Chain A
Amino acid sequence: MRAVITVIGKDTVGILAKVTGICAADNVNVMDVTQTVMQDLFAMTMLADISGLQGDFGAFSDKLKSLGADLNLQIHVMHEDIFNSMHRV
């Protein structure tokens, strides 16, 4: 099972470290990261393996969401199936 984590917002120090920190704490393996910085807007997409996730998916998602709120970023965690079903025939 894989999830897509997206982070969008103003670039600040340590975004990647903080997000991956939460992933590591919950035993979520980050498989791929792409990021772009356009002017000062930061957009990062991560593909993460959640099959070893400790605890509930909802709780994991809430932790990242509240991190987003603290850093003034939008963080979304979504199961990869939604992208596969919407964008692939």
Chain B
Amino acid sequence: MINNNDILETIQMIQDENLDIRTITMGISLLDCIDPVLDKACTKVYDKITKAAENHVKVGEQLEKRYGIPIINKRISVTPIAAISAATKQSPVKLALALDKAAKATGVNYIGGYSALVHKGFSAGDLELIKSIPEALSQTERVCSSVNIGSTHAGINMDAVKLMGEIILEASKKTADNFCFGAAKIVVFCNAVEDNPFMAGAFHGTGEPDTVINVGVSGPGVVRAAVQKMPHATIDEIAEQIKRTAFKITRMGQLVGAEAAKMLDVPFGIVDLSLAPTPAVGDSVAYILEEMGLEKCGAYGTTAALALLNDAVKKGGVMASSHVGGLSGAFIPVSEDAGMIRAVQAGALTLEKLEAMTAVCSVGLDMVVVPGDTSADIISAIIADEAAIGMVNNKTTAVRIIPAIGRKEGEMLDFGGLFGSGPVMAVNKFSPAKFISRGGRIPAPLQSLKN
């Protein structure tokens, strides 16, 4: 018989500490849907997705029942659309509409991959896609977009950085009557990964199998509860406890992912070992850091605490899964984390501190709301700084920033649901315009020369 305490611990984790599988994401290659006639490409894309993911949501719901564990999101990621639309030599907005339609038909809440990879330069289709992002996101509901503008191996494409500042601002303006939500669906990456199951940055890399199942686990609430039980422990004891907790969380992700893959007859890709917060009280990464002994997230010591947390999560998770991938680490999205929101409102957490934190955790500046009058140059420069951290440290960094049109510092932008609400944060107003307008490419750093 299974130990009673283990059973009750599991139930408590799910019931009281918000343990869940954050997402089961089906990656689908669209490379066989390329067609020079745009309408034909759209039909092929729609048909392929709806056939491949026909049972995706149903299987997710069955697994929720079988294991008694909530699976919050069922999603789809596809090949970067710029590669599919290149042959059409047209704006790919119609493909975005086809993706949206396919997402609705299959019942997934988001579909990622309206993307372009331009870290070294623009190839055919890339510029058309990037320029169409604001239009595509304002016309669709479930499509998410990402652009990779830099990598450790290629350096940073500063022309793309400049462009993305303008695109984000435009996307926000185009959706100003809908809480500027367009900008919340754009992620700008450095060192983007091909198997990320999390939105809005998920896309299906060209090195992936035709279809694949990737799983993202969650559990900030569980980690926080574990740390809370040891008020007098040393840091190494806390690290050990986080490792144990992460192991359990990840094993659950591995089980559900492997089972989903078997039921869908699709290869199992990876488990993304992430601590992904939600606006639910208690499901916060910031609160874990505060539980470790910081008065507020953002105080001095936050970066060190986050580094410890991030490392312990990986160490615990890596043994629990046969294949680890994706972004793997703690996420620090401001608007989706009750503790981060409160820290910003209390004046403890600034954009500068968040930037420092992104050097030691997964991803980067995520769901950060800035004043609506922030210039495109400043947004571009924020992207450049974040990309530089990723490039030099050989890690993924990303920027998902929302200029809140018509709102000023200190006001709130409420998205609702899993996206939460974000306080408008202060931005350094000194101009980076000349640096951003120079264009060109930041050369790859010495770290890239590993061969």
Instruction: Choose from A32, A57, A74 the contact partner of B1 (Cβ within 8 Å).
Output: A32
If A32-B1, A47-B2 touch, whether A83 touches B66 (CB-CB below 8 Å) is: no
Residues of B with C-beta under 8 A to A47:
1-2
User: Is B62 within 8 A of A58, CB to CB?
Assistant: yes
User: Is B68 within 8 A of A78, CB to CB?
Assistant: yes
Within 8 Å of chain A (Cβ to Cβ): is B124?
no
Q: Given the complex of chains A and B, what is the CA–CA distance between A8 and B15 in angstroms? A: 12
Residues of B with C-beta under 8 A to A87:
2-3, 6, 9-10, 248
If A47-B2, A82-B252, A85-B254 touch, whether A57 touches B66 (CB-CB below 8 Å) is: yes
* Chain B residue nearest to A78 in the complex (CB): B68
Count of chain B residues near A, Cβ 8 A: 23
Residues of A with C-beta under 8 A to B286:
none
User: Is B6 within 8 A of A78, CB to CB?
Assistant: no
Q: How large is the interface on A (under 10, 10 to 19, 20 to 34, 35 or more residues)?
A: 20 to 34
* Chain A residue nearest to B256 in the complex (CB): A82
Residues of A with C-beta under 8 A to B9:
87
* Chain A residue nearest to B61 in the complex (CB): A58
Using an 8 Å CB-CB cutoff, how does the interface string of B1-45 with A read, 1 for contact, 0 for none?
111101111110001000000000000000000000000000000
Within 8 Å of chain B (Cβ to Cβ): is A10?
no
Q: Given the complex of chains A and B, what is the CA–CA distance between A62 and B62 in angstroms? A: 12
Residues of B with C-beta under 8 A to A62:
65
If A79-B66, A79-B67 touch, whether A86 touches B252 (CB-CB below 8 Å) is: yes
Residues of A with C-beta under 8 A to B69:
78, 82
User: Is B255 within 8 A of A81, CB to CB?
Assistant: yes
Residues of B with C-beta under 8 A to A80:
2
CB within 8 Å of B: which A1-26 residues: 4, 6, 8
CB within 8 Å of B: which A30-68 residues: 32, 34, 43, 45, 47, 57-58, 61-62
If A32-B1, A76-B11 touch, whether A85 touches B65 (CB-CB below 8 Å) is: no
Q: Given the complex of chains A and B, what is the CA–CA distance between A78 and B8 in angstroms? A: 12
Residues of B with C-beta under 8 A to A34:
1, 4
Q: Given the complex of chains A and B, what is the CA–CA distance between A80 and B61 in angstroms? A: 18
Q: How far is the CB of A29 from chain B (nearest CB, A)?
A: 15
Residues of A with C-beta under 8 A to B251:
85-86
User: Is A83 within 8 A of B10, CB to CB?
Assistant: yes
Instruction: Choose from A57, A61, A76, A86 the contact partner of B6 (Cβ within 8 Å).
Output: A86
Residues of B with C-beta under 8 A to A81:
67, 255
Q: Given the complex of chains A and B, what is the CA–CA distance between A74 and B3 in angstroms? A: 19
Q: Given the complex of chains A and B, what is the CA–CA distance between A76 and B7 in angstroms? A: 10
Q: Given the complex of chains A and B, what is the CA–CA distance between A86 and B10 in angstroms? A: 8
User: Is A83 within 8 A of B7, CB to CB?
Assistant: yes
Q: Given the complex of chains A and B, what is the CA–CA distance between A79 and B66 in angstroms? A: 6
User: Is A6 within 8 A of B255, CB to CB?
Assistant: no
Q: Given the complex of chains A and B, what is the CA–CA distance between A89 and B8 in angstroms? A: 18
Residues of B with C-beta under 8 A to A58:
61-62, 65-66
Q: How far is the CB of A64 from chain B (nearest CB, A)?
A: 11
Q: Given the complex of chains A and B, what is the CA–CA distance between A70 and B101 in angstroms? A: 41
Q: Given the complex of chains A and B, what is the CA–CA distance between A41 and B97 in angstroms? A: 54
Greatest chain B CB density within 10 A among A6, A32, A34 is at A6
Q: How far is the CB of B375 from chain A (nearest CB, A)?
A: 49
Instruction: Choose from B11, B62, B248, B254 the contact partner of A6 (Cβ within 8 Å).
Output: B11
Residues of A with C-beta under 8 A to B1:
32, 34, 47
Greatest chain A CB density within 10 A among B8, B9, B67 is at B67
Q: How far is the CB of A65 from chain B (nearest CB, A)?
A: 10
Q: Given the complex of chains A and B, what is the CA–CA distance between A42 and B252 in angstroms? A: 27
Q: Given the complex of chains A and B, what is the CA–CA distance between A82 and B7 in angstroms? A: 9
User: Is A77 within 8 A of B68, CB to CB?
Assistant: yes
Using an 8 Å CB-CB cutoff, how does the interface string of B53-81 with A read, 1 for contact, 0 for none?
00000000110011111000000000000
Q: How far is the CB of A81 from chain B (nearest CB, A)?
A: 6
Q: Which 9 A-B pairs have the closest CB atoms?
A: A78-B68, A58-B65, A87-B6, A85-B255, A82-B67, A85-B251, A86-B248, A83-B2, A79-B66
Question: Can you report 16 A-B residue pairs in the complex whose CB atoms are below 8 A from each other?
Answer: A4-B2, A43-B8, A45-B4, A57-B62, A58-B62, A58-B66, A74-B11, A77-B68, A78-B67, A79-B66, A82-B68, A82-B69, A83-B2, A85-B251, A86-B248, A87-B248
- Contacts A45-B4, A57-B62 known; list 17 others, CB within 8 Å: A34-B4, A57-B65, A58-B62, A58-B65, A61-B68, A62-B65, A78-B67, A82-B68, A82-B255, A83-B2, A85-B251, A86-B6, A86-B10, A86-B251, A86-B255, A87-B3, A87-B6
